[in-house]
Amino acid sequence: MPRQTLAMAAAYTFLVLLAVTGAHGFHIEEATVESIQQGFRNDSLTSVQLVRFYLDRIRGLNPLLRAVIEVNPDALRQAARADAERHRFSSVRFLAAGAGGLLHGVPVLLKDNIATRDALNTTAGSYALLGSVPPRDAGVVSRLRRAGAVVLGKANMDEWANFRSLPGTEGWSARGGQARNPYVLTASPCGSSTGSAIAAATSMAAVTLGTETDGSILCPASLNSVVGIKPTVGLTSRAGVVPVTPRQDTVGPICRTVTDAVHVLDAIVGYDALDAAATGAASKYIPHGGYVQFLKKHGLNGKRIGVPNGFFTYPNGTVQQMVYQQHLNTIREQGAIVIENLDIENLSVILDTLNNGEQFALAAEFKLSLNTSLSDLSYYPVRSLADVIAFNIAHPVEEKLEEIGQLIFLVAENTTGIGATEKAAIDRLNKLSADGLEKLMKEHELDAVMAPNNALSPVLAIGGMPGITVPAGYGALGVPFGLSFGGLRGYEPRLIEMAYAFEQATKVRKPPTFLP
C-alpha cells in the first residue's frame, strides 16, 4: 500500500474506534466553547478529559494530516489545575476573581510562530529556530493563560509564514511536513496558518490561533471550512510572534464557529507594552463589554454590503457561482442592502503584490523585524537573516533547499533598511489603500465588502484592515470554500454581526470528509 493509503486506513480505523470507545458522557468532537463550559458546570466533562481526547485525536489523525508540530507535555497538568481551580471556588467568587472566563480549562492550539515560554519550541516550522528560547510568552499567549486556557501545542504552518521562497510552501514546513486538507486530501490546505485551520476543522483542538500578513488566516480557514478572524492590525499584540512586518502582521482565531472565534478574540485583544504603538493605537476600537454582544441573529438587517467587481468571477453553472448567488439572496432576505458592481480603484495593482511594492516593502521590513525579534530571544541558534540563510544552506535535505529555495530570504538579505525607495513603496501602498477600499467604503457608506475565500486579503493587508471568513459551501469535488466580509479598521463589531447572522442563516459547515 502507498504510504498515504496506509495512513488513511489507519486514520479511518482510529475514527471508528474513537466513536465506539468514546467513553465520555459529553460528546467532545465538534464541541463549542459554550457547550464545553456547560459540560464543566454540570460535571459531565473535565478539562483533563478534553485534553486527553484532543491528544488522542492528534495521535490518530496527525500522521495523515500533519496539522500539529508539537504537543505540550504540560497540557494535562494545566488541565488538572484548571479543573481544581473550578472546584475550589464557588462560581460567583470564581468569576469575581477574574478567572472563570469562557476559555478557562479550554485547550488552545497555537501556530508555531507564536512564542511560548515552556517546554514547547517556537520555530515557524523551521529547524533554524529549533532550540531558541523566548524570554517570555507572546502577548496573546499571556492573555490566554490569564484566561485559564490550556496550551495544547503548536500547529504546523507554511514555513516562515510562506516568506522564504516563491512560489511558496502551502502547508509545508521542515519540522511539520506536508499538511493535508481533511476534506479532500489531495487539495491544497492553503496557508500559512494551515495546521491551525486543519486542527480546528478536525477537532484536534477546541480552538486555535493563526497569524496573517496577507491571507494567512482567511485562506486556510476558507479552504478547511472553518471560521477565521483577521483582526485590525494592532487589535492583538504581535509581541513574541515571529514577524514578517509590524505594518501588516496580526494574530487571530481560527475556530469551527463564529461564536467560538469571538470568545477567543475577546480573550486576546488589548494593549501590550511590548507592541505599544500598534496596540495603543488600536485599543480605541475595542468595545466596552467585548465582542460577544455582536453575536446577533439579525445582524445582517440594515447592513450596507458592497460586492466589488473582480472577485465573484466563477463561470455560470459552477457550484461556486450558484451557491454564492444563493448566499447573496439569503443575505438580502436577512435585510441587508447589497450593492453590486462597485469598483475598488486600482484593484489590479493592489492584487499584484509582486509588482506593486508590497513584496518589496515586506522584504526590507522582514529583515529588520526578524533581526529585532531574534535579538530579543534569551537563547538564539541564529542571530540574523544571514544566519538563517546559512543554516538552510548547511541543512539542504531537512530544509528542502533544492526544491523550495529561499529566494525571498535572499532578496530580503540584500535590503539595507527602510531607505527612500522603501519609504516611497510604503507610501504608495498606503495611498492605494486610501484611494481604494477606504474611499469606496466611505463613499457608499458600506458596513462591509464581500468576496470569496481570501480574495480580499491583499486589499485588507495594505490597510491593516480586518476580515472574517465563514464556511460557504463545498465545490464539485468536495473542496470547501468560504465567504469573507472585510471592513475598515475597527469594524470588527459589525463584521461579527454580519458573519454570525450569515452563519446562523446558512449553517453550511459540516465536519471533514477525508476524501482521497
Task: Count the residues in the chain.
Answer: 516
375 contacts ligand NAG (rule: CB under 6 A) = yes
Judged by beta carbon, residue 289 or residue 417, the one nearer ligand NAG is 417
State in angstroms the smallest separation of the CB of 145 from ligand NAG.
17
Taking the C-alpha atoms of residue 89 and residue 147, their distance in angstroms, rounded to an integer, is: 16
Residue of 62, 66, 57 lying closest to 21 (CA atoms): 57
408 contacts ligand NAG (rule: CB under 6 A) = no
β-bridge mates for residue 110, sequence order: 154, 209
Task: Please pick, among 142, 173, 193, 216, the residue that the annotation labels catalytic.
Answer: 216
Taking the C-alpha atoms of residue 360 and residue 503, their distance in angstroms, rounded to an integer, is: 37
Instruction: Evaluate whether 409 touches 388 at the Cβ level (below 8 Å).
Output: yes
Cβ count within 10 A of residue 41: 11
CA distances from 183 to 14, 473, 480 (A): 17, 12, 7
State in angstroms the smallest separation of the CB of 410 from ligand NAG.
4
What is the helix (H) or strand (E) element at residue 408, kind and residue range?
helix 407-413
Burial of 379 (0-12, 13-18, 19+ CB in 10 A): exposed
351 contacts ligand NAG (rule: CB under 6 A) = no
Residue 272 phi, psi (nearest 5) = -140, 120
Residue the block writes with cell 504537543: 71
Task: Please pick, among 47, 126, 142, 192, the residue that the annotation labels catalytic.
Answer: 192
Establish whether 433 is a catalytic residue. Answer: no
Taking the C-alpha atoms of residue 1 and residue 14, their distance in angstroms, rounded to an integer, is: 18
330 contacts ligand NAG (rule: CB under 6 A) = no
Three-class secondary structure assignment of 386-406: HHHHHHHHHCCCCCCHHHHCC
Instruction: Evaluate whether 152 touches 103 at the Cβ level (below 8 Å).
Output: no
Considering only 80, 99, 130, 401, the residue that binds ligand NAG (CB under 6 A) is 130
Q: How many residues bind ligand NAG (CB under 6 A)?
A: 26
Establish whether 192 is a catalytic residue. Answer: yes
Which region, judged by CB under 6 A, interacts with ligand NAG, from 283-291, 325-333, 406-414, 484-492?
406-414
Amino acid letter for position 119:
A
State in angstroms the smallest separation of the CB of 73 from ligand NAG.
6
424 contacts ligand NAG (rule: CB under 6 A) = no
Task: Look at residue 142 and give its three-state secondary structure.
Answer: helix
Considering only 346, 400, 418, 511, the residue that binds ligand NAG (CB under 6 A) is 346
Report the phi/psi class of residue 59: left, alpha or beta, with left for phi > 0 and alpha for psi in -120 to 50. Answer: alpha
State in angstroms the smallest separation of the CB of 120 from ligand NAG.
5
76 contacts ligand NAG (rule: CB under 6 A) = no
State in angstroms the smallest separation of the CB of 39 from ligand NAG.
5
349 contacts ligand NAG (rule: CB under 6 A) = yes
411 contacts ligand NAG (rule: CB under 6 A) = yes
Judged by beta carbon, residue 56 or residue 435, the one nearer ligand NAG is 435
β-bridge mates for residue 497, sequence order: none
Establish whether 216 is a catalytic residue. Answer: yes
Task: Please pick, among 47, 111, 222, 225, the residue that the annotation labels catalytic.
Answer: 111
What is the helix (H) or strand (E) element at residue 83, kind and residue range?
helix 75-88
Taking the C-alpha atoms of residue 112 and residue 42, their distance in angstroms, rounded to an integer, is: 34
State in angstroms the smallest separation of the CB of 390 from ligand NAG.
14
Residues 227-286 touching ligand NAG, rule: CB under 6 A, are none
Which region, judged by CB under 6 A, interacts with ligand NAG, from 96-104, 251-259, 278-286, 408-416?
408-416
Judged by beta carbon, residue 185 or residue 377, the one nearer ligand NAG is 377
121 contacts ligand NAG (rule: CB under 6 A) = yes
Site string for ligand NAG, 22-51 (x = CB under 6 A): ----x--------x--xx--x-x-------
308 contacts ligand NAG (rule: CB under 6 A) = no
State in angstroms the smallest separation of the CB of 189 from ligand NAG.
22
**Side-chain-facing half-sphere of 140: CA atoms under 13 Å:** 32
131 contacts ligand NAG (rule: CB under 6 A) = yes
Residue the block writes with cell 516550522: 125
Catalytic residue numbers read: 111, 192, 216
* Residues near ligand NAG (CB under 6 A): 26, 35, 38-39, 42, 44, 70, 73, 119-121, 130-131, 316, 345-346, 349, 368, 371, 375, 384, 410-411, 414, 428, 432
